[in-house]
């Protein structure tokens, strides 16, 4: 794509990011209760002390200035102190982020690994029992409340059959030395198979729960895109050449059919961000999502504000990249 | 007389549609001798493309071959297993499609699309993965050179969209001929091309045919093309063959009213265009009568009964009640 | 799929939706018990087919001894109410905004599109959670939060359709006859673009029901003692080891209703194409 086109798209991104930041700022500015009072709660502070803290926090300045300060600090990664942890918000978030990323990636991998072969098979054996089952599965996938399904999985696998653990990321005694913060990576780096297996066992149910709606959508896209491709002349011509069925499907068909799947996957990855709050809560996963939910209940607003901003900015950037990816990969545009 | 290379007898292909069964090919019989070129002429809906899809074993649901026999080099094709079909296609019988733009996979290089055919039918390639691939690559380059594509080595790694329309057609021909098949079925090879390129492509096919000693079936709606490039012609209408014979003879003295109509409707400078009156019938619910009856100027009461193919002298055949008068 | 099979599917899904609506409307009449009636002797009582269960409390009781079936029936009111109200409000706002943006273009379109893009920049739950953190939990706040994000969906659809409809002949004819812009928008364009809007609205009701359940599950939606399917599932979480039924049955209700709505919406669309 031409540099000019890329530039215009980037420029379009800025007002959106700005708008997002404004919204997040307004959300928190309009929160009832005075942050300074909350911070000093239980310390019998005098009104003068509260006022002093408010001045320090910049709460008595005009709104526009406060917004400017907010953006200025945000860009530098300063979101103030977490009221609950008594540590910088940015630090707390950074600690919990790897777990969420690991879960989201696992869900994505699960969705792709399940959806693509099923979609291809459903298209190839169109109208067969697999096709109908898969179509119904898709419907089920978008109709199922994720959190409930997660609980069902827990009841089944963790409680009844005692196959998988009930909660958490890893058992305490199986933890590898923390290098990257990503348990899977750290386990491999430390060469500890028990850590790896333990992590995978804990990861399985949450990843499946989180990835299921995405798998349903991707399966449907793969199936319809595959059906489209199989109707094309170049498939007939490939068969007329006497090529094996496997080659026709995997080399000729799939290469063309995967494009829509990949772009939809990229677009839907953002939705995983929304879903992981609920999944992390159900499975006791120590990630950012659960932290946000907990923070709301303890009125830890600086953290909620920072997290919401982070989620939103990531989401916008993800969608932007997905859009870009589609444009780059689309052969019609390339031509 | 030598045995025909391809012999189709009473072929019937049906399609299950929402409104009932449609017989796209209803009792088609024709043959192609070794080294000969047969032109198959008909409008859209005449069943000509479906006939040769059946010859390649490429009739897919909702279509179904319902009866008749197809023999290639004496072998009955109906009894083939999928593996045997795959060995046959591309190797002994090859096919080109109407539009090279849609027939070539846009996501694969031209080289890949030629080489894979060679590798699929690789009996005479050397053993060993590396030697095999380089031999196949050399064959591919040779195939591109054969069809007249300049700088074949460079163009091998390019994508179909990087070729012009005429060049793409040549690429498709190169792919089809890469394994030196005994029979090439060219489905509407010139329809998607403009006039100047059409002649080049047809001449190319003709030259290659003579060079390789190959049989050719040219499926087209253009009688003019057949007149110039085919030894024999078969005219199809509404799922049946209505007339066959040596091209020159059929064009000089067409017997079937439809063939006569086709010849009359070829545009000529100074003469007004005379299309055939009426329309091609709906294939659903055709009666037993002659299918051309509604449009025929010389119809007789006998035409209400089923009409069969009659053999006439001079290697001709005709599906018309008037045949007896001409014998 | 054969005609009869399709007919069977329509009837079943419409029937199920109708049953749920009836449950919601008739809740006080058909519920066997008061949903807030807590009887600690019946704490975590199993469903009637298990040992220790009673026919009078067919699906068992929760941790506070409240009848699960009754709570599910009353929970239907919340789910359907939230789904319908949120989507209706969102559709009205979205249609008006989309019409204005698509037809009037200019700065109206710029502003509406910008707002749409910004709102779309938030993953769904994040936005709702952010708003509710600010406003506090509760049913009304939840409806507001959901509607606030939801209006962009019909807005985008309507804007697209309006942009296309602008160029059609009937609009040009109306313009030539001197009709005012408002007239054209409301009387000419609107009726012709309603079909996709309604189709989308149906799917969205199903999605909003799940979202409401998620928010209530997290504790941000409906507050006790009101029964929402989502909060019921949350209540049962601590007891999945010994009393799986507390969390399971409310979820079944969600699944059935959402599945039925999605199926009904799907079949109707297929009919249109038939």
Residue A154 with chain C: CB contacts under 8 Å: 240
Tokens found for residue B118: 């060679």
Residue C131 with chain A: CB contacts under 8 Å: 27
Across the interface, which of B97, B116, B121 has its CB nearest the CB of A247? B116
Residue C244 with chain A: CB contacts under 8 Å: 155, 159
Give chain A's length.
335
Residue-level pLDDT at B78: 83
- Domain locations in chain B? 6-92+181-326
Q: Give the 3-state secondary structure of B246-312.
A: EHHHHHHCCCCHHHHHHHHCCCECCECCCCCCCCCCCCCCCCCCCCCHHHCCCCCHHHHCCCCCEEE
What is the C-alpha separation between C151 and C88, in angstroms, rounded?
9
Q: Hey, which residues 117-146 in chain C have their CB within 8 Å of chain A?
A: 117-119, 121-127, 129-134, 136
C-beta of residue C214 within 8 angstroms of C-beta of residue C70: no
Chains with 3 or more CB pairs closer than 8 angstroms to A? B, C
Q: Where does the pLDDT of residue C154 fall: very low under 50, low under 70, confident under 90, or very high at 90 and above?
A: confident
Q: Please say if the pLDDT value at position C118 is more than 60.
A: yes
CATH superfamily of B6-92+181-326: P-loop containing nucleotide triphosphate hydrolases (3.40.50.300)
Give the residue from B116, B140, B183, B192 with the most A CB atoms within 10 Å of its CB, the best one to mutate: B116
Which residue of chain A comes nearest to C255, CA vs CA? Answer: A144
Q: Please say if the pLDDT value at position C271 is more than 50.
A: no
Q: Give the 3-state secondary structure of chain B.
A: CCCCCEEEEEEEEEEEECCEEEEEEEEEEEEECCCCEEEEECCCCCCHHHHHHHHCCCCCCCEEEEEEEEEECCEEHHHCCHHHHHHHECCCEEEECCCHHHHCCCCCCHHHHHHHHHHHCCCCCCCCHHHHHHHHHHHHHHHHHHCCCCCHHHHCCCCHHHCCHHHHHHHHHHHHHCCCCCEEEEECCCCCCCHHHHHHHHHHHHHHHHHHCCEEEEEECCHHHHHHHCCEEEEEECCEEEEEEEHHHHHHCCCCHHHHHHHHCCCECCECCCCCCCCCCCCCCCCCCCCCHHHCCCCCHHHHCCCCCEEECCCEEECCCCHHHHC
Contact call for A151 and C240, based on CB within 8 A? yes
Residue-level pLDDT at B184: 93
Using a CB–CB cutoff of 8 Å, tell me whether B70 touches chain A: no
Across the interface, which of B102, B106, B116 has its CB nearest the CB of A243? B116
Q: Convert the pLDDT of each residue in A189-239 to its tens digit.
A: 777 777 778 788 888 888 999 999 899 989 989 998 898 898 889 999 999
Sign of the torsion formed by the C-alpha atoms of C90, C92, C94 and C95: positive
Strand B215-220, strand B232-237: pairing = unpaired
Give chain B's length.
327
Tokens found for residue A262: 């990949």
C-alpha distance from A140 to closest chain C C-alpha (Å): 7
- Residue B62's alpha-carbon distances to B14, B21, B23, B65, in angstroms, are 8, 10, 12, 10
Residue B186 with chain A: CB contacts under 8 Å: none
Contact call for B106 and A247, based on CB within 8 A? no
Tokens found for residue A330: 């689309």
Which residues of chain A are modeled with pLDDT < 70? 1-2, 31-43, 45, 57-58, 81, 83-84, 160, 162-163, 165-166, 168-181, 329-335
Contact call for C134 and A30, based on CB within 8 A? yes
Summarize the confidence of residues C77-103 as an average pLDDT: 90
Helix (H, G, I), strand (E, B) or coil at C61: strand
Contact call for A27 and C134, based on CB within 8 A? yes
Which residues of chain B are modeled with pLDDT < 70? 1, 123-124, 285, 324-327
C-beta of residue C35 within 8 angstroms of C-beta of residue C91: no
What integer best gives the mean pLDDT of chain C? 83
Using a CB–CB cutoff of 8 Å, tell me whether B325 touches chain A: no
C-beta of residue C212 within 8 angstroms of C-beta of residue C142: yes
Q: Which is nearest to C154 in space by CA: C83, C97, C112?
A: C97
Using a CB–CB cutoff of 8 Å, tell me whether C219 touches chain A: yes
C-beta of residue C14 within 8 angstroms of C-beta of residue C264: yes
Helix (H, G, I), strand (E, B) or coil at A81: strand
Residue-level pLDDT at A33: 66
Residue-level pLDDT at A335: 35
C-alpha distance from C240 to closest chain A C-alpha (Å): 6
Using a CB–CB cutoff of 8 Å, tell me whether A331 touches chain B: yes
Q: Convert the pLDDT of each residue in C172-194 to its tens digit.
A: 777 777 777 777 767 777 777 78
Residue B174 with chain A: CB contacts under 8 Å: none
Using a CB–CB cutoff of 8 Å, tell me whether B88 touches chain A: yes
What is the C-alpha separation between C274 and C270, in angstroms, rounded?
6
Contact call for A335 and B107, based on CB within 8 A? no
Domain carrying residue C163: 3-272
Tokens found for residue C134: 């600010």
Across the interface, which of A24, A145, A292 has its CB nearest the CB of C255? A145
C-alpha distance from B121 to closest chain A C-alpha (Å): 8
Residue-level pLDDT at A333: 47
C-beta of residue B219 within 8 angstroms of C-beta of residue B48: yes
Q: What angle do CA B162, B165, B171 make, to 5 degrees?
A: 75
What is the ipTM score, two decimals? Answer: 0.87
Contact call for B95 and A335, based on CB within 8 A? no
C-beta of residue C204 within 8 angstroms of C-beta of residue C149: no
Contact call for A244 and B88, based on CB within 8 A? no
C-alpha distance from A65 to closest chain B C-alpha (Å): 54
Across the interface, which of A242, A245, A255 has its CB nearest the CB of B107? A255
3-state helix, strand, coil in chain C (%, to 5): 75, 0, 25
C-alpha distance from A238 to closest chain C C-alpha (Å): 31
Residue A249 with chain B: CB contacts under 8 Å: none
CATH number, domain of C157, equals 1.10.3720.10
Q: Convert the pLDDT of each residue in C224-233 to its tens digit.
A: 778 889 999 9
Residue B91 with chain A: CB contacts under 8 Å: 242
Using a CB–CB cutoff of 8 Å, tell me whether B106 touches chain A: yes
Residue-level pLDDT at B300: 79
Contact call for A241 and B94, based on CB within 8 A? yes
Q: Hey, which residues 90-109 in chain C have their CB within 8 Å of chain A?
A: none
Summarize the confidence of residues C231-248 as an average pLDDT: 86
Which residue of chain A comes nearest to C266, CA vs CA? Answer: A139
Instruction: Report the domain count for chain C.
Output: 1
Q: How many A-B residue pairs are in contact by the CB < 8 A criterion?
A: 70
What is the C-alpha separation between A126 and C193, in angstroms, rounded?
34
Place of tokens 């600086």: A302
C-alpha distance from C267 to closest chain A C-alpha (Å): 12
C-alpha distance from A11 to closest chain C C-alpha (Å): 13
Beta carbons within 8 Å of A102's beta carbon, 6+ residues apart: A182, A183, A184, A203
Give the residue from C114, C128, C130 with the most A CB atoms within 10 Å of its CB, the best one to mutate: C130
Residue C213 with chain A: CB contacts under 8 Å: 145, 147-148
Q: Where does the pLDDT of residue C169 fall: very low under 50, low under 70, confident under 90, or very high at 90 and above?
A: confident
Contact call for C129 and A292, based on CB within 8 A? yes
Total-model pTM:
0.81
What is the C-alpha separation between C98 and C111, in angstroms, rounded?
11
What is the C-alpha separation between C197 and C159, in angstroms, rounded?
11
Helix (H, G, I), strand (E, B) or coil at C65: coil
- Residue A223's alpha-carbon distances to A116, A226, B290, C6, C40, in angstroms, are 8, 5, 45, 21, 52
What is the C-alpha separation between C247 and A153, in angstroms, rounded?
12
Residue-level pLDDT at C258: 93
Report, in angstroms and rounded to the nearest whole number, the Rg of chain C calculated over CA atoms: 22
Give the residue from A33, A153, A274 with the most C CB atoms within 10 Å of its CB, the best one to mutate: A274
What is the C-alpha separation between C250 and C74, in angstroms, rounded?
11
Strand B215-220, strand B183-187: pairing = parallel
Contact call for A278 and C115, based on CB within 8 A? no
C-alpha distance from A186 to closest chain B C-alpha (Å): 39
Contact call for B95 and A240, based on CB within 8 A? yes
Strand B37-41, strand B232-237: pairing = parallel
Element (H, E) at A87: strand A87-88
Contact call for A251 and B87, based on CB within 8 A? no
C-beta of residue B192 within 8 angstroms of C-beta of residue B98: yes
Q: What letters, b where the CB count within 10 A reaches 16 and e where it falls short, cover C171-203? A: beebeeeeeeeeebbeebbbeebeeebebbbbb
Q: What letters, b where the CB count within 10 A reaches 16 and e where it falls short, cover B199-208? A: eebbebbbeb
Contact call for B106 and A234, based on CB within 8 A? yes
Beta carbons within 8 Å of A285's beta carbon, 6+ residues apart: A99, A100, A103, A167, A168, A169, A206, A276, A279
C-alpha distance from B224 to closest chain A C-alpha (Å): 27
C-beta of residue C227 within 8 angstroms of C-beta of residue C74: yes
* B13, β-bridge pairs: B25, B65
C-beta of residue C12 within 8 angstroms of C-beta of residue C256: no
Burial of C109 (0-12, 13-18, 19+ CB in 10 A): middle
Residue A82 DSSP class: E
Q: Which is nearest to B156 in space by CA: B192, B120, B118?
A: B118
Residue C42 DSSP class: G
Contact call for B120 and A232, based on CB within 8 A? no
Element (H, E) at A319: helix A301-329
Report, in angstroms and rounded to the nearest whole number, the Rg of chain B calculated over CA atoms: 21
Tokens found for residue A43: 């310390």
What is the C-alpha separation between B105 and B115, in angstroms, rounded?
14
Q: How many A-C residue pairs are in contact by the CB < 8 A criterion?
A: 138
């Amino acid at each position: 794509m031409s540099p000019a086109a890329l530039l215009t798209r980037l420029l379009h991104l800025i007002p959106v990011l700005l708008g997002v930041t404004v919204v997040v700022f307004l959300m928190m500015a309009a929160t009832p209760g005075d942050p300074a009072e909350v911070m000093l709660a239980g310390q019998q502070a005098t009104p003068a002390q509260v006022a002093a803290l408010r001045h320090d926090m910049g709460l008595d300045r005009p709104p526009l200035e406060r917004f400017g300060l907010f953006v200025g600090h945000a860009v530098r990664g300063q979101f103030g102190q977490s009221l609950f942890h008594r540590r910088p918000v940015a630090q707390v978030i950074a600690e919990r982020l790897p777990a969420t990323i690991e879960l989201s990636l696992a869900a994505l991998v699960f969705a792709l690994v399940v959806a693509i072969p099923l979609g291809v098979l459903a298209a190839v054996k169109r109208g067969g029992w697999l096709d109908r089952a898969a179509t119904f599965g898709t419907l089920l996938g978008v109709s199922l409340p994720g959190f409930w399904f997660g609980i069902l999985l827990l009841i089944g696998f963790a409680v009844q059959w005692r196959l998988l653990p009930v909660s958490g990321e890893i058992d305490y005694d199986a933890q590898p030395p923390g290098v990257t913060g990503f348990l899977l990576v750290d386990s491999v780096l430390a060469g500890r198979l028990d850590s790896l297996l333990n992590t995978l066992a804990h990861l399985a149910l949450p990843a499946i729960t989180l990835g299921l709606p995405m798998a349903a959508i991707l399966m449907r896209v793969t199936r319809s895109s595959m059906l489209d491709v199989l109707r094309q002349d170049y498939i007939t011509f490939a068969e007329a050449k006497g090529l094996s069925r496997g080659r026709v499907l995997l080399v000729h068909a799939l290469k063309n059919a995967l494009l829509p799947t990949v772009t939809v996957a990229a677009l839907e990855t953002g939705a995983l961000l929304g879903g992981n709050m609920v999944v992390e809560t159900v499975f006791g996963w120590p990630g950012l999502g659960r932290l946000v939910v907990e923070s709301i209940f303890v009125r830890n607003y600086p953290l909620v504000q920072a997290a919401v901003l982070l989620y939103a900015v990531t989401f916008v950037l993800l969608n932007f990249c997905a859009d870009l990816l589609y444009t780059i990969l689309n052969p019609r545009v390339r031509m | 007389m030598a045995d025909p290379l391809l012999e189709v007898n009473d072929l019937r292909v049906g399609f299950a549609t929402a409104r009932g069964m449609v017989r796209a090919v209803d009792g088609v019989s024709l043959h192609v001798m070794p080294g000969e070129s047969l032109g198959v002429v008909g409008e859209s809906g005449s069943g000509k493309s479906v006939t040769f899809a059946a010859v390649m074993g490429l009739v897919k649901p909702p279509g179904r071959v319902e009866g008749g026999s197809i023999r290639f080099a004496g072998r009955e094709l109906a009894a083939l297993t999928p593996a045997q079909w795959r060995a046959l296609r591309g190797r002994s019988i090859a096919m080109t499609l109407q539009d090279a733009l849609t027939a070539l996979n846009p996501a694969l290089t031209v080289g890949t699309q030629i080489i894979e055919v060679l590798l699929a039918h690789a009996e005479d390639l050397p053993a060993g993965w590396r030697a095999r691939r380089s031999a196949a690559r050399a064959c591919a380059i040779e195939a591109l050179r054969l069809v007249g594509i300049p700088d074949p080595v460079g163009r091998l790694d390019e994508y179909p969209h990087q070729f012009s329309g005429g060049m793409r057609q040549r690429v498709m021909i190169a792919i089809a001929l890469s394994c030196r098949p005994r029979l090439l079925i060219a489905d509407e090879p010139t329809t998607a091309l403009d006039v100047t390129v059409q002649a080049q492509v047809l001449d190319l096919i003709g030259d290659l045919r003579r060079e390789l000693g190959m049989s050719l079936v040219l499926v087209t709606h253009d009688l003019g093309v057949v007149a110039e490039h085919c030894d024999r012609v078969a005219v199809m209408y509404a799922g049946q063959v209505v007339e066959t014979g040596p091209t020159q003879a059929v064009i000089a003295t067409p017997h079937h009213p439809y063939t006569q109509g086709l010849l009359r409707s070829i545009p000529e400078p100074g003469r007004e265009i005379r299309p055939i009156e009426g329309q091609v019938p709906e294939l659903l619910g055709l009666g037993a009568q002659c299918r051309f009856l509604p449009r025929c100027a010389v119809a007789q009461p006998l035409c209400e009964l089923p009409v069969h193919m009659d053999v006439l002298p001079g290697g001709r055949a005709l599906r018309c009640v008037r045949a007896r008068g001409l014998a | 799929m054969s005609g009869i099979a399709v007919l069977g599917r329509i009837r079943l899904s419409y029937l199920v939706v109708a049953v749920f609506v009836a449950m919601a409307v008739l809740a006080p009449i058909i519920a066997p018990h008061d949903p807030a009636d807590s009887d600690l002797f019946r704490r975590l009582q199993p469903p009637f087919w298990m040992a220790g269960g009673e026919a009078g409390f067919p699906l068992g009781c929760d941790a506070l001894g409240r009848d699960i079936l009754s709570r599910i029936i009353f929970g239907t009111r919340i789910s359907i109410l939230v789904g319908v109200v949120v989507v209706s409000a969102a559709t009205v706002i979205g249609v008006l905004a989309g019409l204005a943006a698509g037809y009037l273009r200019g700065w109206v379109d710029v502003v509406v599109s910008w707002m749409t893009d910004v709102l779309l920049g938030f993953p769904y739950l994040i936005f709702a959670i952010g708003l509710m953190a600010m406003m506090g939990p509760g049913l009304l706040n939840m409806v507001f939060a959901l509607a606030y994000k939801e209006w962009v969906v019909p807005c985008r659809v309507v804007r697209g359709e309006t942009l296309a409809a602008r160029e059609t002949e009937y609009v040009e004819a109306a313009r030539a006859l001197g009709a005012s812009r408002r007239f054209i928008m409301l009387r000419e364009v609107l009726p012709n673009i309603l079909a996709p809007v309604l189709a989308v609205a149906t799917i969205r009701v199903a999605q909003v029901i799940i979202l409401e359940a998620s928010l209530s599950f997290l504790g941000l939606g409906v507050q006790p003692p009101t029964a929402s399917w989502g909060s019921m599932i949350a209540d049962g979480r601590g007891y999945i080891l010994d009393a799986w039924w507390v969390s399971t049955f409310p979820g079944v209700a969600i699944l059935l209703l959402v599945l039925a709505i999605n199926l009904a919406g799907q079949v109707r669309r297929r009919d249109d194409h038939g």
